[in-house]
């Protein structure tokens, strides 16, 4: 199973079109972790399973999405309701509640990935307004390939190119 995560484009519709055009037929699911600032009726958003972010005022996206793809469960939230600036504990509890193998979130505009309790927690970073250590990349999104044995994570830049130093493998139980 292979899925793509993007977050925090803050109205940049063109990059979402580019991502769908390049990756839409290469992944099993495309998720948006919130702060799209685009209405659900915007044509490009129909390609994304999207959650509401803290700046998506007036839109009716859900706060959490959980989907089963093949034998993997993916849960997505923006993170502003789960204290992601300070801890992953509320996300860990959400993962337990939804029986998620992968939990994706946004909000911080900083990419992050870790494995806890054989679950992957991933922030794709902001595709349009990155912060933190990798701000110089100019925006990121992530593709995760999950098998029973491992999670393979590859981050990509705004030019849709893989970032070699941001490739990770996490072994599973």
In this model, does residue 42 exceed pLDDT 80?
yes
The mean pLDDT value for 146-156 works out to: 97
The CATH homologous superfamily to which domain 2-171 belongs is Metallo-dependent phosphatases (3.60.21.10)
> Domain residues of the chain, as ranges?
2-171
Question: What pTM value is reported for the model?
Answer: 0.97
**What's the 3-state SS for the chain?**
CEEEEECCCCCCHHHHHHHHHHHCCCCCEEEECCCCCCCCCCHHHHHCEECCCCCCCCCCCCCEEEEEECCEEEEEECCCCCCCCCCCHHHHHHHHHHCCCEEECCCCCCCEEEEECCEEEEECCCCCCCCHHHHHHCCEEEEEEECCCEEEEEEEECCCCEEEEEEEEEECC
């Amino acid at each position: 199973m292979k899925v793509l995560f993007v977050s925090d484009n803050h109205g940049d519709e063109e990059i979402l079109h580019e991502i769908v055009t390049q990756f839409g037929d290469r992944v099993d699911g495309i998720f948006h972790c919130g702060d799209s600032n685009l209405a659900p009726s915007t044509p490009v958003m129909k390609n994304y399973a999207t959650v509401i972010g803290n700046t998506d005022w007036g839109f009716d996206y859900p706060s959490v999405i959980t989907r089963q793809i093949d034998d993997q469960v993916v849960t997505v939230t923006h993170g502003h309701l789960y204290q992601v600036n300070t801890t992953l504990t509320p996300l860990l509890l959400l993962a337990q509640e939804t029986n998620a193998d992968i939990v994706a979130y946004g909000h911080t505009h900083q990419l992050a990935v870790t494995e806890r309790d054989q679950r992957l927690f991933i922030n794709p970073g902001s595709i349009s307004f990155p912060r933190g250590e990798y701000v110089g990349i100019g925006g990121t999104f992530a593709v995760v390939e999950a098998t029973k044995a491992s999670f393979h994570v590859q981050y990509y830049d705004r030019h849709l190119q893989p970032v070699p130093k941001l490739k990770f493998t996490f072994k599973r139980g």
